[in-house]
Amino acid sequence: MSTTLNLKNFSFETDADGIALLTWDMPDRSMNVITQEVMSELEQVIDTVVADAAIKGCVIVSGKKDSFSGGADLTMMEGFGGQLAKMIKSDGYEKAMQFFFDGTRSLSVLYRKLETCGKPFVAAINGVALGGAFEMALACHYRVLSDSDKTRVGLPEVKVGLFPGAGGTQRVARLMQTGDALQMLFKGDQLRPAAAKSMGLVHEVVPAADLVAKAKAWIAAGGKGIAPWDDPKFRNPSGKVFSPAGMMVWPAANAIYRRETQDNYPAIKAILHAVYEGLQLPMDLALKVESRWFAKILRSPEARAMIRTLFISMGELNKGARRPANIPPSAPKKIAVLGAGFMGASIAYVSALAGIEVVLIDRDQESADKGKQLSHKLMTDQIMKGRAKTAQRDELLARIEATPDYSKIVDCQMVIEAVFEDRAVKAEATRKAQEFLSPDAVFASNTSTLPITSLAENYSRPDHFIGVHFFSPVERMMLVEVILGKKTGDKALAMALDYVRAVRKTPIVVNDSRGFFANRCVLNYILEGHLMLMEGVPAAMIENIAKKAGMPVGPLSLNDEVALDLGWKILQAAKKDLGPQAVDANQEKLLEEMVVKQGRLGRKNGKGFYDYPEKGQKKLWPGLGALQPKHLDPDTLDREELQQRLLVTQALEAARTVEDHVIVDPREADVGSILGFGFAPFTGGVLSMIDGMGAAKFVALCQKLEAKYGARFKPCALLLDMAAKGETFYGRFGAAKKAA
């Protein structure tokens, strides 16, 4: 039996038992998202279910394979901000703010209408249900998940500078112990079905084939359309906020917030406020409190920057914003990886994980087998954590052929060269490979610093030669730099981008130069840490100031991870190619002492700026103090200036990469800086930081630092021009500007 409704994004039908099935299946979209139209249609359904006495309740399910919904369309939220600015001018501040508040809480109001309509609603979720979609499920009276490996639920809004503003903070905090609820909301992790059930967020986990039947059975058995918190007898899981138990939670929560965020993320602080205040109120008032905090955070510069970079720009790059439109899809089904060392073996693993056949080549069978063993280890780790099955490991390993025989690559559509970072070694691997490759194959070099144009000179078809720079550890890092040589053609670019997306990474396209984009910025960050150390700044202060500035790790810790001897080799190569003036004498002195004289190479040999005991946590090497020419009193140092130095040096180098035409699209600099080296995400990325500050103010800061610390902080000509004209990077170089 069906009911006539004006629905475009849903289908609605009622069975013989009077139970409605609402199937969400948006046309022309691979995943359901919450839009104004979806909200309007859902409200129609709620009204219909309430008005029809023959309908006992409603089950909401997705018509998409392996996904329920990714949540709200954040461009809709961003649109409220644009409308607000216009309304303030036309209608005045008070009326505009009321419009903004009403608009940003409309989803929360809709979910509360569903929750209090009196009829039972069940969310039957197969696949991904995140953000506003999971908040919809939390507003339903019963939640059933499929046990599929692809099913995930969660509230990841904090990762784009927001927080769950459609009731998420209030419902989660009433379903779980307060400390657990705050931890979940702070992290924004995606939860597997079993974890969601054990946390009390969902009621059942069942086979996908039984999903709808189980949901309907709950309604048929007399399931009630009342949320637990609307029952007068309801008590919060952790009791009252102002109670001995409550006071065990909040001081610790505030301390954890400050430790983990350095007070850089207003959205996470707003979660603390919303939960703390909301738990003291009835649900309707609590939701209003949440909405007020949500409206405030949506207007914050941090949220605007993070939404633009980590949602809009990253989405556009993942969908092929820089892919040549004239080349048909060309993702390779079989590739070769030259070099079975740590990087090559990791690239083979992520490729095989994506279903791609891999020929993994090294100098002898033992070395190739050792590289393949990494895939076995990584999959075994997943099995031990319950995230994979033995059969999946066997299938993945079957896709990797480890061999020293180059002739095995004859039918590969793409080769990724990941041998030692040495021109002669790379040239030899290139020569051996091209003997067997078809004319249509694409050759990609995974180099971190060597210019692609010069490496392509060793390949007979330079238009098919490209750079594909992975970041370590490959299985965890989400960014890949795709580097264009001067002769790289569209086909090579298209295949490289298709491959990067196939292995579930985000690509940025950069033009050729020494160090490309990411390493130019990262090396400046490490340099600044080295110079601070040689100035006499305590090592612990350098590391902690970096975290306070928003970096995931300090420059000394980062240098240990990438290896000190690599930094020493890069320094010596730059000195050889560009002359002594290309390196800083103080940095060279420090690295020579650490690497050459002390044999401290970083984490890889258990000793660098830190010591790495077999058991226990790493600790700063006590001998660092002896390497410092002098020791400054930390109480006399300007902490804000130290933070500025660590961020400005990276942002300034990013501006230079734009001036050098290495970066041609500001989206790629911002996305690349956050995903590639963790640049303070709350700024929106290196160029968004400059745009947010304003070019004139940023130039003035650079000039102040230049006067005190030297020419490395000298603003480039591009920045001076932008400051004089009042321009931004997105205004001058943005996608819309280029399209025009």
User: How is 170-234 classified by DSSP, letter by letter?
Assistant: HHHHHHS-HHHHHHHHHH-PEEPHHHHHHTTS-SEEE-GGGHHHHHHHHHHTT--B--GGGSTT-
Pull the structure tokens for residue 686: 């290196």
Q: What is the pLDDT at residue 736?
A: 43
> pLDDT tens digits, residue range 698-736?
999 999 999 999 999 999 999 999 999 999 999 999 864
* Average pLDDT of the chain to the nearest whole number: 94
The enclosing domain of 57 has a CATH number of 3.90.226.10
**Residue 305 maps to a domain:** no
Residues 367-385, mean pLDDT to the nearest whole number: 96
Based on the residue annotation, tell me whether 469 is a catalytic residue of this protein: yes
Please check the confidence at residue 458 and state whether its pLDDT lies above 70: yes
**Residue 2 maps to a domain:** no
Please check the confidence at residue 229 and state whether its pLDDT lies above 90: yes
Instruction: List Cβ neighbours of 254 (8 Å cut-off, separation of 6 or more).
Output: 272
* Half-sphere exposure of residue 685: CA atoms within 13 angstroms, side-chain side: 30
Please check the confidence at residue 738 and state whether its pLDDT lies above 60: no
Are 464 and 492 contacting, i.e. CB atoms less than 8 angstroms apart?
Answer: yes
Q: What percent of the chain has pLDDT over 70?
A: 99
> pLDDT tens digits, residue range 416-427?
999 988 889 999
> pLDDT tens digits, residue range 63-101?
998 899 999 988 777 777 778 888 888 889 899 899 889
Name the packing angle between helices 168-175 and 178-187 (round to 10°).
140
Please check the confidence at residue 739 and state whether its pLDDT lies above 60: no
Tell me how far apart the alpha carbons of residues 85 and 73 are, in angstroms, rounded to a whole number: 20
Residues in the chain: 740
**470, β-bridge pairs:** 480
Q: Are residues 40 and 51 in the same domain?
A: yes
Q: Are residues 261 and 205 in the same domain?
A: yes
Please check the confidence at residue 670 and state whether its pLDDT lies above 50: yes
Q: What is the pLDDT at residue 247?
A: 84
Show which of 254, 281, 299 is a domain's final residue. Answer: 299
Angle at 473 between CA 527 and CA 545, to 5 degrees: 35
Tell me how far apart the alpha carbons of residues 701 and 292 are, in angstroms, rounded to a whole number: 35
Cα of first residue to Cα of last residue in the chain, in angstroms, is: 52
DSSP assignment letter at 310: I
Catalytic site residue from 141, 469, 530, 661: 469
Q: What is the pLDDT at residue 454?
A: 93
What 532-537 contacts at long range (C-beta under 8 Å, 24+ apart), as own/partner pairs, is 532/642, 532/645, 533/590, 533/624, 533/627, 533/628, 534/586, 534/587, 534/589, 534/590, 534/628, 534/629, 535/630, 535/632, 536/628, 536/629, 536/630, 536/631, 536/632, 537/632, 537/634, 537/637, 537/642
Q: Are residues 523 and 484 in the same domain?
A: no
Q: Are residues 554 and 438 in the same domain?
A: no
Residues 508-537, mean pLDDT to the nearest whole number: 95
The enclosing domain of 680 has a CATH number of 1.10.1040.50
Please check the confidence at residue 660 and state whether its pLDDT lies above 90: yes
Q: Are residues 507 and 378 in the same domain?
A: yes
Tell me how far apart the alpha carbons of residues 491 and 463 are, in angstroms, rounded to a whole number: 8
Q: What is the pLDDT at residue 73?
A: 84
Backbone angles phi, psi at 585, to 5 degrees: -60, -35
Handedness of CA 38, 43, 49, 52 (dihedral sign): negative
Q: Which domain holds residue 496?
A: 334-514
Q: Are residues 35 and 69 in the same domain?
A: yes
Show which of 637, 671, 705 is a domain's final residue. Answer: 637
Q: What is the pLDDT at residue 635?
A: 96
Q: Sorting pLDDT into bands at 50, 70 and 90, what band is 300? A: very high
Q: Are residues 631 and 668 in the same domain?
A: no
Q: Are residues 527 and 657 in the same domain?
A: no
What pTM value is reported for the model?
Answer: 0.92
Q: Sorting pLDDT into bands at 50, 70 and 90, what band is 504? A: very high
Q: Are residues 504 and 633 in the same domain?
A: no
Please check the confidence at residue 2 and state whether its pLDDT lies above 70: no
Q: Cα separations (Å) of 372 from 192, 366, 367, 378?
A: 29, 10, 9, 10
Total domains present in the chain: 4
Tell me how far apart the alpha carbons of residues 737 and 521 are, in angstroms, rounded to a whole number: 25
Please check the confidence at residue 469 and state whether its pLDDT lies above 60: yes
> pLDDT tens digits, residue range 33-53?
999 999 999 999 999 999 999
Peptide bond into 473 cis (omega under 30): yes
Tell me how far apart the alpha carbons of residues 443 and 25 are, in angstroms, rounded to a whole number: 41
> pLDDT tens digits, residue range 318-348?
999 999 999 999 899 999 999 999 999 999 9
Please check the confidence at residue 3 and state whether its pLDDT lies above 90: no
Residues 372-384, mean pLDDT to the nearest whole number: 97
Q: What is the pLDDT at residue 349?
A: 98
**Residue 678 maps to a domain:** yes
Closest CA to 589 of 575, 602, 603, 578: 575
Q: Sorting pLDDT into bands at 50, 70 and 90, what band is 578? A: confident
**Residue 313 maps to a domain:** no
Q: Are residues 383 and 461 in the same domain?
A: yes
The enclosing domain of 450 has a CATH number of 3.40.50.720
Most confident of 76-85, 260-269, 528-537: 528-537
**Residue 29 maps to a domain:** yes
Q: What is the pLDDT at residue 637?
A: 97
Q: Are residues 548 and 676 in the same domain?
A: no
User: Of the given ranges (248-252, 267-271, 488-492, 548-552), which has the lowest mean pLDDT?
Assistant: 248-252
Q: What is the pLDDT at residue 1?
A: 47
Q: Are residues 91 and 231 in the same domain?
A: yes
**Residue 311 maps to a domain:** no
Q: What is the pLDDT at residue 365?
A: 97
**Residue 240 maps to a domain:** yes
Place of tokens 């021009």: 721
Tell me how far apart the alpha carbons of residues 267 and 169 are, in angstroms, rounded to a whole number: 12
Show which of 278, 299, 320 is a domain's final residue. Answer: 299
User: Of the given ranges (371-385, 466-480, 565-579), which has the lowest mean pLDDT?
Assistant: 565-579
